[in-house]
C-alpha cells in the first residue's frame, strides 16, 4: 500500500505555495487511503452466491446429489421435506458466510468492486470534502480541491462557483492525467505536486494575483 512520506508532504505544500503566488485562487490538496469501505459490495456478492446455490444444485446430475446425500444422511435414511429444507438452509447460510468472510479482506473486496462504483464513490467523497473544507470559504469563491484516493487509484478535482463559470471540468484533464500516471508508478507525492502546478497555471489565467488577496485556505497536504 502506498504511503506519503514527509518529503512528499513538503513537495506538495511547496507546490501549493508556489502556485498561489500567481493567483487569487486557493488550492486544497487531500489524500485518502480509500473513499469508501464498500461493505455493500461484499454483501451483494454474498447474496449473489447464496442465490446461486439452488441453481447449482438444480444443474448437478442426480447421481452426484444422491452420492452427496448418502454421505450426509447415510444410505438408508429417508429424505424428508424437513431434512431437505434444513440441508438447503445450511448450504445457503454457509455460502453467504464464506463469501462475506473472504471479502472482509480489503484487497479482494477492492479488486471485485466494479470500476464505475469506485468512480462514483470517489467523486462523492471528493464533493463531500469540498463542501466541508473549501466551498464558499474564499471571498471570491475561488477554491479548488485536488483529491486523491489511493486504493482506488482515482482522483477528482472540484472547483468553487466562480471558477466553474470560466473553467470547464474537462480543462482539468491534464492535471488528472499527470496525477494518476504518477500514482500508478508509485509516486503519489510527485503526482499531486504536478497536478497542483497545472491547476495553478489555469487559475492564474482567469484569476491572477491581486493586491487584496489573502491566504484563506491551508497550503499543507491533508492526509486522511
* For the chain, percent of residues with pLDDT exceeding 70: 86
pLDDT band at 187 (very low <50, low <70, confident <90, very high): confident
Angle between helix axes 81-102 and 39-59 (nearest 10 degrees) is: 140
Indicate the number of domains in the chain.
2
Which of 111, 146, 161 delimits the end of a domain?
111
21 domain residue, yes or no = yes
Residue 78 near residue 87, CB atoms below 8 Å: no
Backbone angles phi, psi at 103, to 5 degrees: -85, 0
173 domain residue, yes or no = yes
pLDDT band at 184 (very low <50, low <70, confident <90, very high): confident
67 versus 146: which is more confidently predicted?
A: 146
Q: Do residues 19 and 122 share a domain?
A: yes
Q: Is the pLDDT of residue 162 over 90?
A: no
pLDDT for 170 equals 77
87 versus 188: which is more confidently predicted?
A: 188
pLDDT tens for 19-28 read 888 888 888 8
Give me the domain span that covers residue 142: 6-36+114-223
Q: Of 221, 209, 176, nearest to 25 (Cα)? A: 209
The per-residue pLDDT of the chain, averaged, comes to 84
Residue 27 near residue 200, CB atoms below 8 Å: yes
Which of 78, 95, 111 delimits the end of a domain?
111
Q: Do residues 19 and 45 share a domain?
A: no
Instruction: Assign 154 to helix, strand or coil.
Output: strand
Instruction: Assign 31 to helix, strand or coil.
Output: strand
Q: Do residues 58 and 132 share a domain?
A: no
pLDDT tens for 124-136 read 999 988 887 765 6
**Per mean pLDDT, which range of 95-99, 106-110, 176-180, 216-220 is the poorest?**
216-220
Q: Do residues 184 and 131 share a domain?
A: yes
* Residue 86 grid cell: 434444513
Q: Do residues 72 and 133 share a domain?
A: no
pLDDT tens for 49-81 read 988 988 877 777 877 766 676 666 666 666 666
**CB within 8 A of 142, min separation 6: which ones?**
23, 24, 25, 26, 160, 162, 163, 203, 207
pLDDT for 132 equals 79
Q: Do residues 127 and 206 share a domain?
A: yes
1 domain residue, yes or no = no
d(CA 69, CA 131): 59
pLDDT for 73 equals 65
pLDDT for 137 equals 63
Amino acid at each position: 500500500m502506498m504511503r506519503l512520506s514527509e518529503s512528499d508532504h513538503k513537495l506538495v505544500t511547496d507546490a501549493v505555495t508556489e502556485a498561489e503566488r500567481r493567483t487569487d485562487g486557493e488550492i486544497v490538496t487531500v489524500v485518502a487511503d480509500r473513499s469508501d469501505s464498500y461493505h455493500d459490495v461484499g454483501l451483494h456478492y454474498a447474496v449473489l452466491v447464496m442465490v446461486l446455490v439452488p441453481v447449482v444444485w438444480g444443474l448437478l446430475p442426480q447421481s452426484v446429489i444422491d452420492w452427496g446425500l448418502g454421505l450426509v444422511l447415510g444410505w438408508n435414511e429417508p429424505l424428508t421435506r424437513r431434512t431437505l429444507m434444513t440441508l438447503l438452509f445450511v448450504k445457503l447460510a454457509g455460502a453467504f458466510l464464506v463469501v462475506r468472510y473472504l471479502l472482509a479482506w480489503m484487497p479482494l473486496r477492492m479488486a471485485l468492486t466494479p470500476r464505475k462504483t469506485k468512480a462514483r464513490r470517489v467523486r462523492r467523497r471528493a464533493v463531500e470534502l469540498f463542501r466541508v473544507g473549501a466551498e464558499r470559504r474564499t471571498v471570491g469563491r475561488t477554491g479548488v480541491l485536488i483529491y486523491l484516493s489511493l486504493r482506488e487509484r482515482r482522483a477528482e478535482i472540484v472547483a468553487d462557483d466562480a471558477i466553474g463559470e470560466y473553467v470547464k471540468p474537462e480543462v482539468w484533464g491534464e492535471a488528472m492525467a499527470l496525477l494518476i500516471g504518477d500514482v500508478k508508478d508509485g509516486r503519489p507525492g510527485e503526482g499531486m505536486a504536478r497536478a497542483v502546478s497545472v491547476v495553478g497555471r489555469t487559475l492564474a489565467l482567469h484569476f491572477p494575483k491581486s493586491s487584496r488577496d489573502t491566504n484563506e485556505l491551508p497550503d499543507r497536504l491533508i492526509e486522511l
